């Protein structure tokens, strides 16, 4: 069992990323976190993505990188793609793995035939939106999903959408 399975979190952890991941920002919201040592509440920005269930707590370093790529106004970030990567960083007197946002120009290209491509992930996101409009629940995909698995799940979802349309006289509500 992995740590993430034993201790699930609403937020993405470095251990959960096996390789660089291109994601599309769905929204950025402020969420309240409690500092257990101090007993105080603080608000932090959290980004949620079309492709993932979990959000990413955005620190100042990642905020600056996203702002460089897409402007400083986070209200304009939805629909924009970023690359998440894992780096070893020095923090709190130790070296730890952390999620960082990196420039798309420097990002590693997906391995041919292995990783889901940005175009496949975009198509998956579009299918999920269609399915949600007609009330079909869709299980979120893992951040490291392979190309073949994403294609298989995409075909299943497309079949479910088409089946809905057939049972409703060829009409979907979009």
- 108-153 pLDDT, tens digit per residue, is 444 445 666 677 777 888 888 888 888 888 777 766 677 777 788 8
Q: Name the nearest CA neighbour of 52 among 144, 119, 116, 123.
A: 144
In the prediction, which pLDDT does 107 show?
Answer: 41
- Each of the 174 residues of the chain gets a pLDDT tens digit; together they read 777 678 788 999 988 888 888 889 999 999 999 988 888 999 999 999 988 889 999 999 999 999 999 999 999 999 999 999 999 888 778 888 899 998 775 444 444 456 666 777 778 888 888 888 888 887 777 666 777 777 888 888 888 888 888 887 655 554
CB of 31 within 8 A of CB of 9? no
Q: What are the Cα distances from residue 27, in Å, to 32, 76, 81, 141?
A: 16, 9, 12, 18
Residue 144 pLDDT: 63
Query: What is the Cα–Cα distance from 164 to 162, expressed in whole angstroms?
Result: 5
C-alpha torsion 10→7→150→66, nearest 10: 40
Query: Contact at 8 Å (CB) between 56 and 62?
Result: yes
Please answer whether residues 127 and 51 qualify as being in contact, where contact means their C-beta atoms are separated by less than 8 angstroms: no
Which residue's entry shows tokens 């905020």?
Answer: 63
pTM > 0.75: yes or no: no
- Please tell me the predicted confidence (pLDDT) of residue 8: 82
DSSP alpha helices (H): ranges in the chain? 3-6, 60-70, 118-133, 147-167
Cα 20 from Cα 84, distance rounded (Å)? 6
Burial (CB count <10 Å: 0-12, 13-18, 19+), residue 109: exposed
DSSP state of 158: H
In the chain, pLDDT over 70 holds for what percent of residues? Answer: 87
The pLDDT value recorded for residue 109 is 46
């Amino acid at each position: 069992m992995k740590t993430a399975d034993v201790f699930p979190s609403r937020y993405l952890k470095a251990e959960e990323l096996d390789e660089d991941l291109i994601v599309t920002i769905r929204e950025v919201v402020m969420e309240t976190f409690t500092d257990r040592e101090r007993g105080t509440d603080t608000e932090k920005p959290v980004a949620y993505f079309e492709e993932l269930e979990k959000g990413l707590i955005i620190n100042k370093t990642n905020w600056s990188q996203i702002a460089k790529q897409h402007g400083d106004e986070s209200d304009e970030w939805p629909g924009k793609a970023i690359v998440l990567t894992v780096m070893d960083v020095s923090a709190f007197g130790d070296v730890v793995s952390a999620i960082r946002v990196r420039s798309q120009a420097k990002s590693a290209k997906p391995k041919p035939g292995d990783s889901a491509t940005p175009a496949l992930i975009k198509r998956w996101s579009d299918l999920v939106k269609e399915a949600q409009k007609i009330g079909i629940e869709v299980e979120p995909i893992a951040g490291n999903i392979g190309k073949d698995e994403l294609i298989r799940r995409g075909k299943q979802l497309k079949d479910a959408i088409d089946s809905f349309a057939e049972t409703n006289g060829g009409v979907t509500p979009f």
